[in-house]
Structure 1
Amino acid sequence: MTHTSHLAETAAAYDAVAELYTELTWDELRGQPLDRAMFAAFAELTRDTGPVLEVGCGPGRIVAHLHDLGLEVSGVDLSPAMIDIARRTRPGLRFEVGSMDALETADGGLAGLVSWYSVIHSPPETLPGYFAEFRRVLRPGGHLLLGFFEAEAREVTAFDHRVVTAYRWPIDGLREHAREAGFTEIGRMSREPHGDERPFRHGRLLLRLGGPA
């Protein structure tokens, strides 16, 4: 499968479940204090330093949360149906259709970027291209927050996500990809699944573009 066809398949798969996905995830952060803590740390690091973008924003729940934390934030997603829902339900915020490997953002135009379970659908060989694009749009010292499913083994593991094929990443392996793209880890969190979530550990990486501050 080519990269272009993979992106088209992912967009179509999420278009088909957009309303149900929105219903299931609308208020999911309410019961996730550890995730909210990661967003709070990201917000503290990026607040009043410039615009922030969430790639793979879906129906906009994370964008809305970051806006409530005081950030100048917008969202982009492959799925037109998801963007339609985001615009309809959160009319005061900006959402655009687009791919996270070809963002319509100037070089160094962002203070922060969030990829919350968006790289999970990227075949491993495509990941360096995404990190290169994240590096391009972030200014030096900008921050990147990643959310993903962890693999217990040292290898990337594919699984049936129900929407479209996804991949679990060893947290150190994903950190290494980020390091090769010029990012420095400044924090991480790993938590167990909660409630009806899939029975996989959840990983979070908070990174800075460039060396230590």
Structure 2
Amino acid sequence: MEDHGSHDSTRRSYDTVAENYAAGFRDELAAKPLDRALLACLVEQTEPGTTIADLGCGPGHVAAWLAGRGASTVGIDLSAAMVAVGRREHPAVEFREGDLLALPAADGEFGSAVAFYSIIHLAPSELRRAFEEARRALRPSGLLLVSFHIGSEVRHLDEWLGHKVDVDFRFFEPSDVAKALEDAGFAVETRIERTNYASEVATRRAYLLARRT
């Protein structure tokens, strides 16, 4: 697979925090009713018999939630350590190591896909390419559900979950993400914003549901 050197620090950072991250986020969906509702909506609209991809899946808790609702799921993540944790904790999910810009997936392999807070590690110039890759891996009319923090700032962390890291968290304006989706061949069908839940970092969050055209 093509190597994306600019993502090496992100990969190393997530490798470093994988065990702590998995422990902290394992049950996070239990406190996020809107996220669960949108994921359930995705399951309901996914073509029966097809697979849902979790792009930037981390330790696989979202993919596992989907699998628990009867979906066939594949989790894809940049971090080998995250993939290893996912395979250990969620045997019902298939995991693959891979970059959002070069997904380890066949053309039209997935019925739908979710990318929860994974585009936040991409540069703005990489959004369209990532969405083009998602489109390639989706069946015709497949859905992509994307979430991210709203804004224009970049938050850099040198320490995270008790470990030294080197990772940027990028915020995006919904209109910019929507344009990148449309430029990549999607039609945005739903846009939702919310404030953070009490257990979350204090940011506004956006969700875009887009259909492959």
Same-fold call, TM > 0.5?
Answer: yes
CA distance in 2, matches of 1:181, 1:83: 27
Q: Is the 8 A contact 1:47 1:70 kept in 2?
A: no
| Structure 1 gaps, min length 5 | none
Distance in 1 (CA, whole Å) between partners of 2:204 and 2:64 is: 25
Determine whether 1:157 maps to 2:153. yes
- 1:46-104 Cα shifts (integer Å, max 9, x gaps): 05151111111111100001111221111011111111111111123211111121112
Q: Distance in 1 between matches of 2:60 and 2:106?
A: 22
Rounded to whole Å, the distance in 1 between the matches of 2:72 and 2:18 is 25
Q: CA deviation at 1:150?
A: 1.0
Note the residue ranges of structure 2 that are not aligned, 5 or more in a row.
none
**Contact 2:114 2:146 (8 Å CA) reproduced:** yes
Match of 1:119 in 2: 119
Counterparts of 1:128 and 1:184 in 2: how far apart (Å)?
Answer: 13
Where does 1:39-58 land on structure 2 (aligned, <5 Å)?
Answer: 39-58=39-58
Aligned pair partner of 1:182 in 179, 182, 185 = 185
Indicate the percent of aligned positions where both proteins have the same amino acid.
35
For 1:86, the equivalent position in structure 2 comes to 86
Task: Note if contact 2:112-2:143 (Cα within 8 Å) is conserved in structure 1.
Answer: yes
- How many angstroms does 1:109 deviate by? 1.7
Change (3 A) 1:49 1:206: farther
**Equivalent residue, structure 2, for 1:69:** 69
Tell me if the contact between 1:192 and 1:202 (Cα under 8 Å) persists in the aligned partners: yes
- The 10-residue stretch of structure 1 (191-200 or 161-170) with the greater mean CA deviation from structure 2: 161-170
| Structure 1: distance between partners of 2:92 and 2:28 | 21
- Paired position in structure 2 for 1:201: 204
Task: Assess if the C-alpha contact under 8 Å between 2:113 and 2:138 holds in 1.
Answer: yes
CA distance in 2, matches of 1:201, 1:12: 27
Query: Residue type of the partner of 1:57?
Result: C
Moved more, 49-58 or 60-69: 49-58
Greater displacement, 178-187 / 98-107: 98-107
Alignment of 1:14-53 (within 5 A): 14-53=14-53
Q: TM-score, normalised by structure 2?
A: 0.91
Spell out structure 1 runs of 4+ moving beyond 6 A. none
Q: Distance in 2 between matches of 1:11 and 1:81?
A: 9
